[in-house]
Amino acid sequence: MPMATAPQAPPSWPLVRLDSARKYFPIRGGLFGHSARYVRAVNNVSMTIERGETFGLVGESGSGKTTLARLIPGLLRPSGGRVLYDGRDIARTHGGELNRLRRRMGIVFQDPASSLNPRSPVRASIRRPLDLQGVRGREAERRVLETIDRVNLGREVLDRYPHQLSGGQQQRASIARAIILNPELVILDEPTSALDVSIQAQILNLLQSLQEQIRLTYLFITHNLSIVRYMSDRIGVMYLGKLVEVAPAEALHDRPFHPYTAALLSASPPLNPRLRDRKRYRLEGDPPSLISPPPGCGLHPRCPFAVEVCSERTPPLVEAAARRLVACHRWEELTLKVGPGA
């Protein structure tokens, strides 16, 4: 008789996992329109987003944040590596199965205009995801009303056109559209960057209370380090298409391990006036090209701590401490500190 095998627990997958994910955009215009040149927008990124957490992604403009975010729902196909959603490889998922996976994700962009149709009343834009899933009539209207209440918008806005709403109302409507199918993951790509500071705070509070009420997982993308600290459980720092550091929000701010993170923190205005005279780390020059990134560590031409090895070998992203990853040859010798007593 064959030996009975013990029932195996199903593998517990992180909600999102990137394994050496790459996205290279070819540059046309070479000889015969062919070209071996690429913009390496996302270059070998491995990371996870755990259920229920807010993963904040920061980095300068052009570091690849939006491209990374677009790989997750399969809006872009990776050029290499894998993007897994709940253990399923997005690039190998098609048709109805892909549709069912995408239904589990919502996206909010910086510009509400990208999710609200200027020529239709707001109701139509919010209801659109339901239309695509074949939910119509009374049931659709019931869910529209339920969702509009959730984002604290008055029902009267449903019959208005986007240009008749304030920026904050438009962004609430975009959030309503993103959550109407009850997703697990919401990708927030600079959701408050276009708003006044006072309105920003209201939207951030709304996002936090929605997360508690309906147990959402967030990927929160921003340039703003104070916002990302306030919102995130863990933060990933991107530079030149690579993830250079991942850490719990507090730990990253208290003691950055990567010189690039320290420079970003130094450049962000301190909320606490006592920190105005803090120690600052500066980078030299501008970010290099993503088309021909420097050899070795992409930061070495700008890094005040660079030594020979930095221009020779690309530092791998290694586990530096519990829940902390860093890609720097010298992180252990450097004691970076940006803050009181620094």
Ligand X SMILES: Nc1ncnc2c1ncn2[C@@H]1O[C@H](COP(=O)(O)OP(=O)(O)OP(=O)(O)O)[C@@H](O)[C@H]1O
Q: Which of 43, 44, 54, 63 binds ligand X (CB under 6 A)?
A: 63
Q: Is 191 in the site for ligand X (CB under 6 A)?
A: no
Alpha-carbon span 8 to 163, nearest angstrom = 55
Q: How many CB atoms lie within 10 A of CB 98?
A: 17
> Is residue 66 involved in binding Mg ion (CB under 5 A)?
yes
* Residue 230 binding: pick among ligand X, Mg ion, none (C-beta 5-8 Å cut-off by kind): none
Half-sphere exposure of 11 (CA within 13 A, CB side): 6
The residue among 144 and 290 lying less far from ligand X, judged by its C-beta, is 290
Does 210 bind ligand X (CB under 6 A)? Our answer is no
Shortest Å distance, C-beta 42 to Mg ion: 12
280-309: contacts with ligand X (CB under 6 A): 290
**Contact with ligand X (CB under 6 A): which of 56, 59, 168, 236?**
59
Closest CA to 225 of 281, 265, 266, 278: 265
CA 61 to chain centre: 13
* Burial annotation 221-241 (CB, 10 A radius, 16+ → b, else e): bbbbbebbbbbbbbbbbbbbb
Which residues have C-beta within 8 Å of that of residue 106, sequence separation ≥ 6? 177, 178, 179, 181, 183, 185, 186, 187
Minimum Å gap between C-beta 278 and ligand X is 25
Residue 200 in the binding site for ligand X (CB under 6 A): no
Q: Which is nearer to Mg ion, 66 or 266 (CB)?
A: 66
The entry of ligand X, Mg ion, none near residue 41 (CB within 5 to 8 angstroms by kind) is: ligand X
List Cβ neighbours of 140 (8 Å cut-off, separation of 6 or more).
127, 130, 131
Helix or strand or coil: residue 217? strand
Tell me the window of 65-73, 129-137, 277-285, 328-336 that interacts with ligand X (CB under 6 A): 65-73
Residues binding Mg ion (CB under 5 A): 66
Residues binding ligand X (CB under 6 A): 25, 39, 41, 59, 61-67, 290
